[in-house]
Each structure stands twice: as structure tokens, then as C-alpha cells.
Amino acid sequence: MRTLDDLLAEGVTGRRVLVRADLNVPLDGDRITDDGRIRAALPTLTALLSAGARVVLISHLGRPKGAPEDKFSLRPVSARLAELLGAPVAFATDTVGDSARDAVAGLADGQLALLENLRFNAGETSKDDAVRGAFAAELASFADAYVDDAFGAVHRKHASVVDIAGLLPAYAGGLVLREVEVLQRLTESPERPYVVVLGGAKVSDKLAVISSLLPKVDRLLVGGGMCFTFFKAQGHEIGASLLEADQLDACRELLATGKIVLPTDVVVADKFAADAAVRTVPVDGIPENWLGLDIGPESGAAFAAEVLGAHTVFWNGPMGVFELAPFAAGTRAVAEALTKIDGLGVVGGGDSAAAVRALGLDESAFGHISTGGGASLEYLEGKTLPGLEALDV
């Protein structure tokens, strides 16, 4: 496997380098609400630009259906990237058309062009190898080398992640290498006690990773919306809380392992809103028609204690609806504890990483904040990730 350092050692002055980044940021109209993924891409980009490369940057954003959609344009990302780099960013209004060709042709040494959203071209996500390969070939024509620094996309068999790595000299970026290093520590040699904290809405989204992790961890803490299906499996009434009835048997099997730790109290509300009536109740006291939206203070303290007692912690998924102030305390309790552990604390990307920033916590206090929630979970499940396989990681 070749790395970014190998490419830089070869010399990149005057060479066109195609960089696949993960710039899939949340947008409110044209406003970026969390620029964490853009900032995560900066070290690789600045290293290449400082060395004189002509950088052609590519990414996806959202889930357009193979055709342009204004709400998924990377134009706001281009503007924010220019601010962070302190330098102009040429923006192409297409992926491999006239605008892209002109943007690439106009690059001088140490300059960068960002192409429009890859998923505006149906070839990016096509299931047809020939269609996907043809799009990859068009992208490859823009460059002399390829760097994959988009860990958040390595679990996708897409043209810009897999096919292109066979068409150009391919290198793993620093972000990808760091993610793999951390995940290897979690899967191969975690320092014990090893605690995993999982949240989010659905048991079904995390069932595979729970089953894979349980034999390897000392404790697995479950919060978020998914905990209510576990409560129902225990025979508790859960009011109007989120329930996946088809997962009850699976939850009972997981509980039988003795490693699952559930909340003992929850914060419930009479509606899903910041101005709802709110109560804290034991898990067997959820009122009819009320819904659980956070773990309670007793549970937050207990989860924090479990985290603080561990030497390795992986956290993926918020403990409640952290975007609404009345339901953010559980997530904050876990996150703050993670900054204080004696060992490795990993924030598993996605909503967990967004919560760290939304709650105003110091990102540097965490051992590692992943940029790829889905990719991280699939790695921990033991799945082969196509993007890593293409780089021979």
C-alpha cells in the first residue's frame, strides 16, 4: 500500500493529483451547519498544495439520483474551503464536462479545483461495472495520481472510491490511514476494560455491530431511541417511544449475554418538541402516549462512570435528541466522560461527531473523532470495505 507520504517523497510539483475527500456536510439551504469534514480534509490538501501539486478535489454530498439537484451542490463547500485554505478554489459546475475540464486545465502549481457533486453523474453509484468504470476513466483523465482521503466513503463500491484506484497510481491519504490505525486497535488489541456505547434510533441499524462486538467487549451500553425496543423486550411499557417490534427476539438474545447495560431512567415528553412537557421517570414508569427522548440523569452518571473506568471506549450514536436542549444531557454526559478517560476514546463519526461540535466540546480532548460512521461500523463488524481493498490496506 502506498501512502500520501510516499507520493510526496516522489515529488508532486506540477503534477495533477486527484483527491477523493468526504465533504458530505449538513446544509441548511446554502449554510453549512457543521464543517467538521471539510476541516478534516485540510491536512492532506495543504500538504499537497504546499508541495506544488495541482489538486483536483472530488466528493459527493447527499443522495441525488444521478442528476444535478441544486440543494446538493458543492458550491457552499467550495466557498467554505476557500475560507479555510485562505486561497481561491476554482469550482467546476459539472463533474467531467466542459466546466470541469476548464477548471483542471486552468490550475497552476499549488492551486486547487473542486468538481461538482460526483453523484450528479449516474456513473458514480451505478451497479453496472462498465458504466461505473467509464465514469472513473473520465475522472482519471484529469490526473496523474489518485489519493483516497475519504474514509467515510470506503464502504461504498463507487467509481471514485474503487474503480479509479485501478486506473491511476493510488495512495492512501493521512485521514484514511489514521482511521484504519484506530480501528485496528479496537478490533485487534484493545486495552481493557473495553467499553462500547451505542445510541441512535434503531436497533436494526446496529444489530450486526452489536453481535460482532459483544464477544470482544467488557460492557456494551445502549442508549438513544434504540433502548426502548430493549425495554419492551424486558416487558416494560414504553408509551409512544420508538419501537421496532420485529427486533424484540433479537434484543432478548442480546440481553441474555449479560454484557448489555441499559438506562435505568429516561427523560420523556408529551410531544417531540423543545417546548414539550418533560419528565424524568424510571424505565418502568413511562406514561401512556409519552415518548422517551433521552436517557435520564441517573443513567447519564452511570454511563459516564462506565466510560471513565475503561481504557478503551468506542462511542457511536447519541443518547437522546441532542439537537433539542431538554434532551441533550445524556449525550453530553457520555461525551464529556470520553474526554477524561485514561486510554483511547473514539467518537464513531456521524451524529456522534456532530453532537461533539453542537455541544461545544473541545475536539482535541478526544482520542479520535472518526469521519465515517457507517464505514467505522462496517469495519468493526468485520466486513471487507471496497475502498480499502482497492488501496490494498
Determine whether the annotation assigns residue 198 to a binding site. Answer: no
Active site residue 202: yes
User: Catalytic: which of 39, 75, 185, 202?
Assistant: 202
Number of Cβ within a 10 Å radius of residue 266? 32
DSSP 166: G
Q: Select which of 199, 223, 330, 350 is catalytic.
A: 350
Residue 148's DSSP bridge partners are: 20, 172
22 known ligand binder: yes
CA pair distance 221, 376, nearest whole angstrom: 18
Q: Is 156 within any annotated ligand binding site?
A: yes
Catalytic residue chosen out of the listed positions 101, 285, 374, 383 = 374
Check the annotation: does 74 bind a ligand: no
Q: Is 317 designated active site?
A: no
Q: What is the CA radius of gyration of the chain?
A: 22
Q: How far apart are CA 43 and CA 65, in angstroms?
A: 31
Confirm whether residue 350 is marked as ligand binding. Answer: yes
* C-alpha to C-alpha distances, 109 to 54, 112, 168, 244, nearest whole angstrom: 5, 9, 20, 55
The response to whether 86 counts as a known ligand-binding position is no
- Does 270 belong to an annotated binding site? no
Which of the residues 20, 37, 54, 232 is marked catalytic?
Answer: 37
Q: How many CB atoms lie within 10 A of CB 183?
A: 23
Cα gap 373→349, rounded to integer Å: 4
Tell me whether residue 84 is annotated as binding. no
Beta strands (DSSP E) in 75-114 are 89-91, 112-114
Is 351 annotated among the ligand-binding residues? yes
- 61 annotated among ligand-binding-site residues: yes
Q: Is 62 annotated as a binding residue?
A: yes
C-alpha distances in Å from residue 156, one per residue of 151, 160, 178: 10, 10, 19
Q: Is 37 annotated in some ligand binding site?
A: yes
Would residue 374 show up in a list of annotated catalytic residues for this protein?
Answer: yes
Beta strands in the chain (DSSP E): 16-20, 27-28, 31-32, 54-58, 89-91, 112-114, 145-148, 170-172, 194-198, 219-222, 260-261, 265-269, 278-282, 291-295, 312-316, 344-347, 368-369
- Does 63 show up as a binding residue in the annotation? yes
What does DSSP say about strands 31-32 and 27-28: parallel, antiparallel, or unpaired? antiparallel
Residue 199 is assigned to a ligand binding site: no
Active-site residues, by number, are 37, 202, 350, 374
Q: Which residues are annotated as a binding site for ATP?
A: 206, 292, 323, 349-352
Q: Which residues are annotated as a binding site for (2R)-3-phosphoglycerate?
A: 37, 119, 156
Q: Which residues are annotated as a binding site for substrate?
A: 22-24, 37, 60-63, 119, 156
Q: Which residues are annotated as a binding site?
A: 22-24, 37, 60-63, 119, 156, 206, 292, 323, 349-352
